[in-house]
Amino acid sequence: MNIDKAYNIWADQYDTNSNKTRDLDTKSTIETLNKFEFSSVIELGCGTGKNTIFLLKKADEIIGLDFAQEMLNKAKNKIKDERVEFRKADLTAEWNIENNYADLITCSLVLEHIENLNFVFNQANKKLKNGGLFFISELHPFKQYSGSKAKFETENGTQELETYVHHISEYLEVANENGFELLELKEWFDEENKSGIPRLIGITLLKKYCGQHRI
């Protein structure tokens, strides 16, 4: 099923249905980002604002981008805070945000829906300040190899979404080509199956300093 259409339908149950991937992402996002300070944040594919609530504990301003209006409506109804602006935008087109705006960009459970990682990483580099962080939390490619993908139940049966597999090497190569260095790579497992296939991969990248200021 087409991605934005699917999320417009899924929006009604996204926060409430049983979803191990969503719940583990909440944990990985909080545990990873609690270690850092940040002020200006761009949240890519913010959805219903599940992680915005945590980000607001530290941030002074957040721009949440998503192309599914119904997901954004849920976020807007849930979070009424003048520090947050939820905007309808397709991440595969130029992001309408000033360059060097953010000290943190987060991207949770979105990249499996985006074929061309290079465009997203290129935009992320432009919108981040030097030394800014790009945090990615994604369905682990090992999980994808075993057939997992975003899906939800409707009265007409299971709806599977359009997805793309990104290998770990691809994430790291695209990051390097777009001026990022790897700060941390973590794999997240289901609590009840720690010796199984990891469910999520968490990648924290640092935008390198340019020219003489390179660290």
Ligand X SMILES: C[S@@+](CC[C@H](N)C(=O)[O-])C[C@H]1O[C@@H](n2cnc3c(N)ncnc32)[C@H](O)[C@@H]1O
Residues 145-174 that bind ligand X (CB under 6 A): 150
> Which of 74, 113, 199, 207 touches ligand X (CB under 6 A)?
113
What H or E segment, with its residue span, contains residue 200?
A: strand 200-207
What is the smallest separation between the CB atom of 209 and ligand X, expressed in angstroms?
A: 28
Judging by DSSP bridges, how do beta strands 128-139 and 200-207 pair with one another? antiparallel
What is the smallest separation between the CB atom of 108 and ligand X, expressed in angstroms?
A: 4
| Rounded-to-integer distance, Cα 55 and Cα 49, Å | 10
Q: Is 131 left (phi over 0), alpha (psi -120 to 50) or beta?
A: left
Token pair recorded at residue 92: 């595969």
Q: Which stretch binds ligand X (CB under 6 A): 45-53, 78-86, 168-176, 191-199?
A: 45-53
Q: Is 50 in the site for ligand X (CB under 6 A)?
A: yes
> Which of 3, 62, 84, 104 touches ligand X (CB under 6 A)?
3
> Which of 109, 136, 174, 205 touches ligand X (CB under 6 A)?
109
Q: Is 55 in the site for ligand X (CB under 6 A)?
A: no
Beta strands in 25-114 (DSSP E): 40-44, 61-66, 84-88, 102-108
174 vs 195 by CB, closer to ligand X: 174
> Which of 22, 74, 127, 166 touches ligand X (CB under 6 A)?
22
CB burial of residue 68 (10 Å; 0-12, 13-18, 19+)? buried
How many residues interact with ligand X (rule CB under 6 A)? Answer: 23
What is the smallest separation between the CB atom of 8 and ligand X, expressed in angstroms?
A: 8
